[in-house]
């Protein structure tokens, strides 16, 4: 699948951490984003397993695409992740983030990371916040 066009897709593709870690943007649309990563030696921890921080970063990357694709800037308020299974180096992972409910300023998202066999690797819940510009107070 090719990277989707548009300014958000370009910004996500240019993300310095995503580029450093080798993330691939698969799909982004309002409320939904998919991204992939093929695990290599730079993604491993001292035990030789994929580092939990890399899995979190991939899920968070998909979350950032999903919550910012609505057209308004959004930031993470909280993310809780659970690691379900260990994957082997060389596996291709796909993270997906999908909106569960979107309010005026808060959005609730479900995130998942699966391996190339379709096995669940991690699940996460996230809350996005859309800050609003405030006029300076006049005294």
| 136 domain-assigned | no
**Strand 75-83 vs strand 106-115: parallel, antiparallel, or unpaired?**
unpaired
Does residue 135 sit within a domain?
no
pLDDT for the residue 7 = 82
Asked, for residue 1, whether it belongs to a domain, the answer is no
Which stretches of the chain drop beneath a pLDDT of 70?
1-5, 133-139
* pLDDT value of position 134: 52
Overall domain count for the chain = 1
35 within domain boundaries: yes
pTM: 0.88
In a domain, 137, yes or no: no
Domain membership of residue 88 as a residue range: 7-129
| pLDDT number for residue 14 | 87
Residue 42 lies in a domain: yes
Residue 71 confidence (pLDDT): 83
Phi, psi (deg, nearest 5) at residue 110: -110, 130
Query: Which CATH number characterizes residue 74's domain?
Result: 3.10.129.10
Residue 98 resides in a domain: yes
3-state secondary structure labels for all residues of the chain? CCCCCCHHHHHHHCCHHHHHHCCEEEEEECCEEEEEEECCHHHECCCCCECHHHHHHHHHHHHHHHHHCCCCCCEEEEEEEEECCCCCCCCEEEEEEEEEEECCCEEEEEEEEEECCCCEEEEEEEEEECCCCCCCCCC
Asked if residue 44 belongs to a domain, the reply is: yes
Q: How many angstroms separate the CA atoms of 40 and 44, rounded? A: 7
């Amino acid at each position: 699948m090719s990277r989707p066009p548009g300014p958000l897709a370009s910004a996500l593709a240019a993300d310095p951490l995503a580029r450093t870690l080798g993330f691939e943007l698969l799909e982004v649309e309002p409320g939904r984003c998919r991204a992939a990563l093929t695990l290599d030696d730079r993604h491993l921890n001292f035990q030789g397993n994929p580092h939990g921080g890399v899995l979190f970063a991939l899920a968070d990357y998909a979350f950032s695409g999903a919550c910012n694709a609505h057209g308004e800037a959004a930031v993470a308020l909280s993310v809780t992740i659970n690691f379900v299974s260990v994957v082997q180096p060389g596996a291709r992972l796909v993270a997906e983030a999908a909106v569960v409910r979107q309010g005026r300023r808060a959005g609730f998202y479900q995130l998942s990371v699966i391996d190339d066999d379709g096995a669940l690797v991690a699940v996460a819940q996230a809350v996005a916040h859309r800050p609003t510009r405030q006029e300076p107070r006049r005294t």
